[in-house]
Amino acid sequence: MTEQFDIAVIGAGMAGASIAAELAALGRGKHRIALCEAEDFPGYHTTGRSAAFREECYGGPDIVPLTLAAGDYLHDGGFLTPRAGLYIARAGQEAEVAAFQERFAESDVTIRPLGREELSAMLPGIRAEWTRALHQPNCADIDVGGLHQHYLARAREGGVTLRTRHRLLDASRSGGDWRLDFGAAGEMRAAIVVDAAGAWADQVARQFGVEPLGLQPLRRTVAQLRVDPKPPADLPLTLDISGDFYFRPDNARIWLSPHDETPSEPCDAAPEELDVALAIDRFQSVVDWRIEAVERRWAGLRSFLPDRLPAYGYAPGTEGFFWFAGQGGYGIQTAPAAARLGAQLLLGQPRDAMTGELDAKLYAPDRLAADTPV
């Protein structure tokens, strides 16, 4: 049997769940919407493996507006736990610190420089060669699972039909609709398709005959450490000014990443021991704590377009295909604003208080499509 919908969203991670929920809300029940997930349950890949935090500078100055626009929604929904952020630097890295500050000088992020005395008070056990930092008071942990379930619930309440184990095999267009073939799971027709497939977004585009945008999945590794002394609960998120590591506490443990970005094919990502070892070596160069055990390790894929900005909008030259992809490592912290903007663009609706100041042209797919080979 062929199911009929107005809009089919491919991918039910944070991107797909959030835009499906916003489409249902903005459409006020006028549109039949399907949310299609290839795996047994939504959020199996990147969303379910995120160590997400809200850090205002993450993604660069052109992502800052999305991050700031999403802030009230995350805060008011109870998805944030306050945690300071520190970009730390060694003696001799003064130029890098100054360049970082200059890069964000025209944005609305809150940063202040710290000297050695304040830094050592905020990060006990930090080694002597780390002499300065940039402090972000508005940094916070994000309840990723809670936010994802919130959007799935909003989508369900808005009448969205969730279909798991729906792996797209083929697609074609006729009579003003897309025909989506999910093999044994059945067939679906929809006038508009939203490509929210994360690392698989370019592959999905090819199935629809749409020119890919050059999406590159990058593997990111995280390890959970048991350390002595136990980290303070209010320990800041700590990032290297050069981008070589970050770590934060979690239930008396440390979550640590070497900030790796290893190119990968879309896959069920797994950590490499070399990356875990590299993360530990970098961590030990920062603090004098003893590592008692590596308790867990995992990896996920963060997917970027060539200019590292997302794509929100209709594909040039293709009727009924809407890009919502390329959100890299900032897709969680920007999700409320990105999904609201995406839904408004798709439905042709006016901006609201959350999205009114966003420049949608920064994220338009046609900025890339003409230069990317099939």
CA distance 366 to 4: 29
| pLDDT (0 to 100) of residue 374 | 38
Query: In this structure, what token pair is assigned to residue 156?
Result: 């369900």
| pLDDT (0 to 100) of residue 111 | 95
Cβ atoms within 10 Å, residue 22: 25
| pLDDT (0 to 100) of residue 48 | 67
| pLDDT (0 to 100) of residue 345 | 98
Contact 238, 248 (CB under 8 A): yes
84-138+217-304 fold: D-Amino Acid Oxidase; Chain A, domain 2 (3.30.9)
Give every residue of the chain whose pLDDT is below 70, as ranges: 48, 369-374
| pLDDT (0 to 100) of residue 107 | 92
Domain 2-48+144-215+306-369 is classified in which CATH homologous superfamily? FAD/NAD(P)-binding domain (3.50.50.60)
pLDDT 10s digits, 187-245: 999 999 999 999 999 999 999 999 999 999 999 999 999 999 999 999 999 999 999 99
| pLDDT (0 to 100) of residue 372 | 46
List own/partner pairs for 289-294 with CB under 8 A and 24 or more apart: 289/125, 289/227, 289/228, 289/229, 289/231, 290/227, 290/228, 291/225, 291/226, 291/227, 292/225, 292/226, 292/227, 292/228, 293/225, 293/226, 294/223, 294/224, 294/225
Sketch the domain layout of the chain as residue ranges: 2-48+144-215+306-369, 84-138+217-304
Q: How does the average pLDDT of the chain come out, rounded?
A: 94
pTM, to two decimals: 0.94
| pLDDT (0 to 100) of residue 1 | 76
Q: What sign does the CA torsion over 17, 22, 25, 28 have?
A: negative
| pLDDT (0 to 100) of residue 369 | 58
| pLDDT (0 to 100) of residue 50 | 79
239: nearest Cα among 259, 223, 222 = 259
